[in-house]
């Protein structure tokens, strides 16, 4: 796992996971939080078929007090969307009444801490063709993140305020 934090605000910018592939080598990075990485432009230009730029783009961008997902390129009004929690499947579901968009997604942080999903913590809004889904972080996760911030401050102080966690 690799995480990137904004040193001024202490906010998580990106979190990526990499697992070994079937031959034991390093696999591709799976982005959990942050901008999804796009393939190299040179590779796309050599192919004749490429993904439309008007397709919805799903990404997670957390705040200090909540998990937040943004889905760009969704032009429908807010009344069309329905966001709900499926407790049995441990996921959230986005539906549209016009049947143009459907998405299931889990919250890996809650799975890691084995916490239940709470429908009351889930809310959404729509602005500028972007659907923004917010899930308020449980107090257990807020406490763990506060502890992590203390550890990061210790590392930053130990490395002469450079903030680099690499060993020298």
23-58 pLDDT per residue, tens: 878 888 888 888 876 554 445 455 677 778 899 999
pLDDT given for residue 17 in this prediction: 86
* Bridge pairing between strands 66-72 and 57-60: antiparallel
* Residue that is written with structure tokens 């049947």 in the block: 99
pLDDT given for residue 52 in this prediction: 84
Those residues of the chain that have pLDDT short of 70 are 37-47, 160-168
Element (H, E) at 38: none
DSSP three-state, residue 128: coil
The pTM of the full predicted model, rounded to 2 decimals, is: 0.76
Residues 6+ positions from 85 with CB-CB distance below 8 Å: 91, 92, 93, 117, 118, 119, 122
Task: At 154, give phi and psi (nearest 5°).
Answer: -65, -45
pLDDT given for residue 165 in this prediction: 57
Q: Which of 65, 166, 137 is nearest to 158 (CA)?
A: 166
pLDDT given for residue 161 in this prediction: 57
User: What are the beta bridge partners of residue 71?
Assistant: 58, 131
Element (H, E) at 13: strand 12-20
Q: Which of 82, 72, 23, 69 is nearest to 52 (CA)?
A: 72
Going along the chain from its start, the domains and CATH numbers come out as 53-158 (2.60.40.790)
């Amino acid at each position: 796992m690799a995480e990137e934090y904004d040193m001024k605000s202490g906010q998580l910018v990106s979190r990526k996971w990499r697992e070994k592939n079937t031959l034991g080598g390093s696999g591709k990075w799976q982005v959990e939080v942050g901008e999804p990485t796009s393939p190299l432009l040179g590779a796309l230009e050599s192919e004749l078929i490429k993904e439309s730029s008007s397709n919805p783009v799903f990404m997670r961008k957390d705040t200090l007090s909540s998990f937040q997902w943004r889905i760009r390129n969704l032009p429908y009004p807010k009344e069309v969307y329905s966001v709900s929690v499926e407790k049995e499947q441990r996921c959230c579901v986005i539906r549209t009444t016009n049947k143009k968009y459907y998405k299931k997604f889990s919250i890996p942080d809650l799975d890691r801490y084995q916490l239940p999903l709470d429908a009351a913590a889930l809310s959404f809004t729509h602005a500028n063709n972007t659907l923004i889904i917010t899930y308020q972080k449980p107090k257990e996760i807020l406490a763990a993140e506060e502890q992590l911030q203390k550890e990061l401050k210790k590392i930053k102080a130990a490395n002469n305020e450079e903030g680099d966690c690499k060993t020298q």
